[in-house]
Structure formats: structure tokens, C-alpha cells
Amino acid sequence: MKPDVEFAVWASDRQQRIESVLESALDAGAAATDTLAAAMRYATLGGGKRVRAILAYAAGELAAANPMDVDPAAAAVELIHAYSLVHDDLPAMDDDAVRRGKPSCHVAFGEATALLAGDALQALAFAQLAHAPVAPAKAVAILAEASGIRGMAAGQAADLAATGGSLSLVELESMHRLKTGALIRAATALGARAGRADESTLAALDTYAAAIGLAFQVVDDILDVEGSTATLGKTAGKDAARGKPTYVTTLGVDAAREHAAVLRAQAHAALAPLGARARRLAEIADWVALRRN
């Protein structure tokens, strides 16, 4: 695709690409009538912004990677994200009945099947990376750290523990660097490592991804207050109803919006040394910070 293509067209092309890659991964070895396979497809396909996959493709382009070499990483991060949403929506966790504009997986298939679907999606994610054409062992290690007790799972545990209380901005950001930011940083790193990224480029991309990971969560918290269930595709006002500390409860809406702008600027600053080849990543930072759903 030519570099002068508008971002919306470029992003739509990547969304369609990852949908096809995910469909192939989910279909491999699964019987069409199998309930578990159906739940996995339901939780993964046909919805979501695919931010993590798009980040992987953008970082891969910056590093001159063949998109086919990025496909396993893009699929893996989306499968991990899908599994995390299935588990987060369970009554034992965030107890949400709506996800991506339709009934949550446990509502549609029952809690036991949803739990197993999440487990199987996580396993499938690592199977994708095992076949990565560039340093599969390193790729698996990056995703494992981002997903586990030093990443997303630890962030979710901190989020649950903080429910009903309050957090300082430092504490809130520490939690979301794990819960939301770790997988976004992994997506960016995995995409870049599929190409010819050197260590200085990887460091700049990690600083960038850390900033947009936080910006993504800040905007999520604002939209939870200002958006509707129809536009968000998930239950609006859920965080306030459950007494969760958010950027809005900690800073207020206006200051939270200003904080998102600061994080967006930090992301752009991190990309500045990389020049024009970081265009798509810069556009993603704008998309994340200025989105309305």
C-alpha cells in the first residue's frame, strides 16, 4: 500500500488483514460444530478496534518487515486481548454483560465455556508465536511477560484490589502500565522485531508505546463517563457503578483530558528521531488519544 494513503484506509486494510489471519488461526483443527470453538470465534472475530494488531503492523512497516512476518505477532496479541476480555467480563471479575456491542461470551455460552474459551485463546496465542519467522523464542518471552504476573494479569489483580478505594495518579499509572500498557508495548515490540529494528529504535518505540498505552486508558475512563453503551459497545458507567478508581475520579474530566494530551505529545516526541518512517505510529497516537469510542 502506498505511503500517501489516508490513515483510515490504511488502518481498515490492516483490520481486514488481521481478521482474516485470526479466522484462519481459529479454524485450524477446530470442528465447526464444536461449542468451545464457536465461543472462541464469538469472542474474537467481528469486532474491536484491533489497536494492538495495527500497532504491530505499523511497527513492522517502520522496521521494513514483510507483513506476513508480522501476522503471527498481530494475531497473538489480539488473541491474548480477546482472552483477557472474556475473563474480565465474568461475574467473578468485572461482571459485564455486554462486549463489542453484543452479549459477553459468558452470557452467550455460559460461564464454564467462556472460561475455557479464554484459556484456549491464550494457548492459541502462544502457538501463533511458536511459528513466528523471526526469533520465536524471544517473541514468546515478550508476550508471556506482558500477559502474566509482570504484566496484564498483575494489573487486573491490582484493579480488583483497588475497587471501592482511591489511588493517586502515580498508583493509577503504575496499575495501568501493567493492565493496559504491557500488551500495547508488547505488540509494538513484536512488530518491530519482525523487521530490522535496532536497539535504539526498539527503545524509542517502547517509550512511545508506554505513552499511548496510558493514553488509551485515560480516554477509556473519560468515555466511560461521557459515552453511551451503544457507542462504546460495552456497558457505559460501569467503572463508577463498581467504585473503581479511574483517571476521572483521580483527576476530574478536564484534567484527565489534558493528561491524555500530554501523553499524546510524549508519544510524538519519542517518535521524532525516527523521522517520516514513523508516520503511521504517529497517526495511531492521534487516533488513540482523540477517539470517541
Query: Domain spans of the chain?
Result: 7-290
Joined together, the cell numbers standing for residue 30 give 477446530
Give yes or no for a contact between 195 and 63, defined as CB atoms under 8 angstroms apart. Answer: yes
Q: What is the pLDDT of residue 20?
A: 97
Checking if the pLDDT of 31 tops 70, the result is: no
Give yes or no for a contact between 126 and 132, defined as CB atoms under 8 angstroms apart. Answer: no
Rounded to a whole number of angstroms, the distance between the first and last alpha carbons of the chain is 27
Q: What is the pLDDT of residue 190?
A: 97
What does pLDDT average to over the chain? Answer: 92
Checking if the pLDDT of 269 tops 90, the result is: yes
Mean pLDDT along residues 94-123? 94
Fold of 7-290: Farnesyl Diphosphate Synthase (1.10.600)
Checking if the pLDDT of 90 tops 50, the result is: yes
d(Cα 50, Cα 47) in Å, to the nearest integer? Answer: 8
272 vs 3, more confident: 272
Of 199, 205, 203, the C-alpha closest to 55 is: 205
Cell numbers 512511545 correspond to: 208
Percent of the chain with pLDDT over 90: 81
Joined together, the cell numbers standing for residue 145 give 511477560
8-22, 101-115, 234-248: segment of lowest average pLDDT? 234-248
* Residues 6 or more apart in contact with residue 267 via CB below 8 angstroms: 208, 211, 212, 215, 282, 285, 289
Confidence band for 226, pLDDT divided at 50, 70 and 90: confident
Q: What is the CA radius of gyration of the chain?
A: 18
152-162 and 182-193 helices, crossing angle to 10°: 170
Checking if the pLDDT of 29 tops 80, the result is: no
Percent of the chain with pLDDT over 70: 94
Q: What is the pLDDT of residue 47?
A: 82
* Residues 6 or more apart in contact with residue 103 via CB below 8 angstroms: 97
Mean pLDDT along residues 238-247? 81
What is the sign of the dihedral through the CA atoms of 169, 215, 282 and 292?
Answer: negative
Confidence band for 194, pLDDT divided at 50, 70 and 90: very high
Of 221, 290, 284, the C-alpha closest to 52 is: 284
